[in-house]
Structure 1
Amino acid sequence: MQFGLIRMILIILLLTGCNAMDRSSAVEVTSEMNEVISDYIIHYYEKAYMKTDEQFEVHKIYGAKKIGNVTTVYLYSLYSGFNKETKTEGQSGHSVPAIIKLKDENGKYVVSYYKEPSDGDDFKNTLYKIFPRKYAAQALNDTENLAGLQDELQQKAEAWLRN
């Protein structure tokens, strides 16, 4: 009886310690980090799609963790290119979950890694391989509604057209 109680206490302490460690590495994504992420994705897809007058990217952050000087960010990205003549009608783009790693180099963030799940039949499997389970489930739900990012992207395009 006493051994069972000690074992249960040890298990509880171990689980509590693991949860505390997991939380301690969680970090908030700053506006600077968000800007680096958007700039990187826009540049990354610059030549992948047809040429447009302006490109915008918006994203939803699921979570981020920091290990050493590298912050890993799990996100859902919506990217589109626009032309003055077609106004707010996107001409090319994508919506996709992605993982991005930002390395802190002397106070500036630099992208050290970027990955998206595979397209097609392998999408769900690769999403679960690169994302923590809780974020992968959210991303799967968000594929139906573009993670609620369409309005934000539209606002950026409208602001650009006004200038």
Structure 2
Amino acid sequence: MLPNIVRMTLITWSMLFLLMGCTSFHSSNEVKVTSEMNELISDYIIQHYEGVYPESDKQFEVHKIYGAKETGEMTSIYLYSLFQGFNKSTEAEGQSGHSVPAVIKLKSKDGKYVISHYKEPQDGADFKRSLYKIFPRQYAKEALDDLKNSAGLQKEMNQKAEMWLRK
């Protein structure tokens, strides 16, 4: 009986150390998204969708970051993006656009970041499955909840449009 208790204790402690090691590894590769990265993301998404939607006077993109992880020279950023085009004639009423979760990968090159990859989940019936393929589970769950209200980004989008109209 005593050897079984010792064995169980050793297994339990081993599992605890293993889990602690995984947790510290998990958090060690998380990075903070800088204002430079945020600006690069918005600029890229606006440029990426140029010509996709009907022409508008001005396009804006705002996003919510779920998290970012660094692997080597590559930084993966998991986000929810809201993109809209506006016309002066219709003022702050968005004319076209989308809201979607996405993963964007940045590569550090000569002290600056460049976009190396951008991916959104598939549309339609495969949306949820493909979201879980490109997002870590915790971020995918949050993104699914955010679908209902565009991640709460509409107010920020409206502010950008109103500032533009005042110029």
TM-score higher than 0.5: yes
- 1:50 is aligned to 54
Shift of 1:47: 1.2
Q: Which residues of structure 2 form unaligned runs of 5+?
A: none
Distance across 2 between alignment mates of 1:122 and 1:67: 28
Shift of 1:33: 0.3
Percentage identity across paired residues of the two chains = 61
Distance across 2 between alignment mates of 1:59 and 1:82: 17
Q: Which residues of structure 1 form unaligned runs of 5+?
A: none
- 2:113 is aligned to 109
- 1:86 is aligned to 90
Shift of 1:46: 0.6
Distance across 2 between alignment mates of 1:130 and 1:30: 22
Aligned-residue Cα RMSD (Å) equals 0.6
Q: What is the TM-score of this pair, normalised by structure 1?
A: 0.98
- 1:26 aligns to what SS in structure 2? coil
Distance across 1 between alignment mates of 2:35 and 2:68: 14
Aligned length: 163
Superposition pairs for residues 4-153 of structure 1, below 5 Å?
Answer: 4-153=8-157
**What residue identity is the alignment partner of 2:74?**
V
Shift of 1:69: 1.3
Q: What is the TM-score of this pair, normalised by structure 2?
A: 0.96
Shift of 1:106: 1.0
